[in-house]
Chains A and B, each alone.
Chain A
Amino acid sequence: MSMEIPYTVDVRPDTGLTNGKLGIWLFLASEVMLFGALFASYVMLRVGAHEWPAGATYLNIPLATLNTVILISSSVTMVLAWASLAKRDFSRFRVFMGITILCGLGFLVIKYFEYTSKFHHGYFPATNTFLGVYFTLTGLHGLHVIGGMAVNGYLWGPGSALWKTDPVHFTNRVENAGLFWHLVDLVWIFLFPILYLL
């Protein structure tokens, strides 16, 4: 019997899904549980604390607002990159995916300046539990940004060779990468208010 795994490219009729699409949604479910547990930990630590500083005491709200705008914009360009492929316009895909990656990079550069300014003022994870939560959650989120950028970079560069041989498969991959990128965005949309604003 043939070794081809079915439904990698085509949709299985009775489930309406490709394997990759289902797989990425399950992965997102596990990510929700990961960050959900960490948010729950934040709540438990904050409720049990004698005092809890306002985010603005330590953190730079304008920079974080700018970062929020950048990350939401990158989610929009991510969708446009996928939509370009759906319209068979590979060069437009290149442009939008490139912007998405640059937005990710911009986010990390701003985050780098935020981190170094904290260190400069002598604020470290060990300083207090608020900063511990801040560095742990934003650090883990930053790793997700880097992971998403690595995938997007692969699809922008060497991975895009698949477009010539199997455009549907490639479009599916971009869609799945986009789903992950939206999750990364969504996590930040939770992190921004709970760390900076509340």
Chain B
Amino acid sequence: MGLETAVAHGAAHDAQHEELGFWRKYVFSVDHKMIGIQYAITGLLFLLFGFCLMMLMRWQLAYPGAALPILGTLLGEARMPGGTMLPEFYNELGAMHGTIMVFMGVVPLAVGGFGNFVLPLQIGAPDMAFPRINMASYWSYFVGGCVMLASFFVPGGAAQSGWTSYAPLSVIAGSGQTWWLIGMVFLITSSLLGSINFIVTTIQLRAPGLSFWRLPFFVWAQFVTSFLLLLAFPPLEGAAVLQLMDRLAKTSFFLPSGLVVSGQVLEVSGGGNPLLWQHLFWFLAHPEVYVLILPAMGIVAEVIANNTRKPLWGYRSMVYSLMFLGFMSFIVWAHHMFITGMGTTMAAFFQTTTMIISIPSVVILSALVLSLYGGSIRFTTPMLFALGFLPMFGIGGLTGLPLGLTAADIHLHDTYYVIGHFHYVVAPGTIFGLFAGIYYWFPKATGRLMNETLGKIHFAGSFVFMNVIFMPMFIMGLAGVSRRLYDGGASYAHAQPVLQWNVVSSWGAWGLALFQIPFIFNFFWSIYRGKKTDANPWHATTLEWSAPSPPPHGNFLTPPAAYRGPYEYSVPGAASDYSPQWEAAKA
């Protein structure tokens, strides 16, 4: 291409950018930043919606059978006659809360939102490697989300078989389950397209000088996460196809011979295996746990390095731990199935791998804690959330160990202890990490800072109420109260001494909702009224802060390059306390 045509080409390009209409710019956008924001906002809305489902359930758990004032009657006779929740509706809420939070809330926000917005900027790329596939990924997610929401309105309501959809219950369940499966196929397709894009972008589009060992930890976390999504989701897609066949074509992949439903032997060919579903489901869903947590660890690492003004402690061992974690996560899945009657040899194998996988998690968490040592910490809102993440994830992780030991798991399996454990990992763990990321990168996306005072109120309230919700669950679980009980255990004698904790937990949930109001207000207010800021308000070192805030189409004003590692804070002899990756060392 000659110089003249190149210039003409460039001019045509610029003109084309200015002509982008509303639809192409904000709706059917191929720009990774806009897609990231679309993912993040849709994900946040689903998180709020999933939280609302849970608040309804918490009413029933705290006050079983009591009529819910006002809202109860609005939900209609089919769901809450006279304001009292029907068991079927409770099951719908439970199944959809889990599905929405995991597949439509946290993952789209953590991977689709932060990954899309931040990753190309951090590696100095003009966009993702496949922008149109990126758009397809978002819209596939959107359609999957709509199918899931629509399932609430089909006859018999949404899926009721838990977020795990265990067979044979899910195979004989109402039509909502078919919608759930179709929705999952769309969500899986979305993850697949997204993960291919992330991996290719990371490998191919790194700026000159940005070798793998100069990548920010956040990029590494997204990179490993993408491999988990790429390789773990297809088996669930296969499982969804098999379950759809069971439901629609009347095959018996998951139905054993002689299954009795409502006193009648089910008329199917039989010979299937219900445990097959569990294996296929957990083969995805255990790596999925790391899909939920790794991006949050990545965000927390960025925020901690920036706010301690120190390099991360043990960056390389953290990266090696990530890779090891990603690999090991594929061979621990059956620790969810210890009480299915598997042999002791198998149980011993999965118990061992489970203990081994806790080591890299501990390495990463310890490295993050050690990074604080000797730093001059700035207690900004993102830093508060990142600091909150550390003990919360610590509690979540340590309470997981007894579940990984077969003997202890016999007592704890399917109790509220399990709920407490994984919510500590995902709610005050991952979601705090995500909040940290929102406060941290908001100025990059909008050119304005979020309000610090409202942010600190949001943090303090959330931190307290998260613990009020989830700490009682350990007490109830240790007392032997099962999860998924419509009355929260009220009809069980052994649950009587701990029932009052249901009330505490429920008021905690409503309190948590109250403290999200400052965040929601702050989010929208700051878009228009937040304090204006320059390209690098946090004095950070990674490449995304060399682009203007917000970055234009194509991201960087000059071709970016990296001259140093990602966390060169407080380098002895340097002029300032941060040495950005994009500044060449002085001769």
Contacts and interface: CB of A to CB of B under 8 A. Distances in A.
A158 interface: no
Given A33-B234, A125-B249, A44 B127 contact: no
Contacts of B133: 23
A128 B241 contact: no
Given A2-B554, A5-B131, A44-B279, A23 B271 contact: no
A45 B276 CA distance: 8
Contacts of B196: 23, 26-27, 30
Given A27-B196, A41-B280, A132-B251, A34 B269 contact: no
Contacts of B197: 23
Interface stretch (A12-20, A56-64, A110-118, A147-155): A12-20
Main secondary structure of the interface of B (DSSP, over half): helix
Interface residues of A, number: 42
13 contacts: A2-B13, A3-B554, A6-B126, A7-B204, A31-B234, A33-B230, A37-B234, A44-B279, A45-B273, A125-B250, A127-B269, A136-B251, A140-B241
A12 B203 CA distance: 10
B272 A136 contact: no
Given A17-B204, A26-B199, A2 B276 contact: no
A22 B253 contact: no
Interface string B280-297: 100100000000000000
Nearest to B279: A44
A33 B555 CA distance: 35
B205 interface: yes
Main secondary structure of the interface of A (DSSP, over half): helix
A33 B130 CA distance: 22
Interface size class of B (residues with CB under 8 A): 35 or more
Interface in B1-32: 10, 13, 17
Interface of B: 10, 13, 17, 126-127, 129-131, 133, 192, 195-197, 199-200, 203-205, 230-235, 237-239, 241-242, 245, 249-253, 268-269, 271-273, 276, 279-280, 283, 553-559
A44 B231 CA distance: 20
A185 to B, nearest CB: 19
Contacts of A164: none
A1 interface: yes
Given A41-B253, A48-B271, A135-B249, 14 more contacts: A7-B204, A15-B203, A17-B203, A19-B204, A22-B200, A23-B197, A26-B230, A29-B231, A33-B232, A45-B271, A126-B249, A126-B251, A126-B268, A132-B249
A44 to B, nearest CB: 5
- Among A6, A41, A133, find the residue whose CB has the most chain B CB atoms closer than 10 A: A41
Contacts of B205: 5-7, 19
A3 B233 CA distance: 32
A129 B251 contact: yes
Interface string A24-49: 00110111011111100100110011
Contact of B283 (A37, A44, A49, A133): A37
Contact of A30 (B230, B251, B276, B556): B230
A136 B131 contact: no
B238 A41 contact: yes
Nearest to A45: B273
A44 B273 contact: yes
A185 B287 CA distance: 30
A132 B204 CA distance: 42
Contacts of B557: 1
A1 B251 CA distance: 56
B127 A5 contact: yes
- Among A36, A38, A127, find the residue whose CB has the most chain B CB atoms closer than 10 A: A38
A51 to B, nearest CB: 9
A85 to B, nearest CB: 22
A41 B280 CA distance: 8
Nearest to A41: B276
Given A37-B239, A125-B249, A1 B554 contact: yes
A15 B273 contact: no
A139 to B, nearest CB: 9
Given A17-B204, A126-B269, A129-B253, A23 B239 contact: no
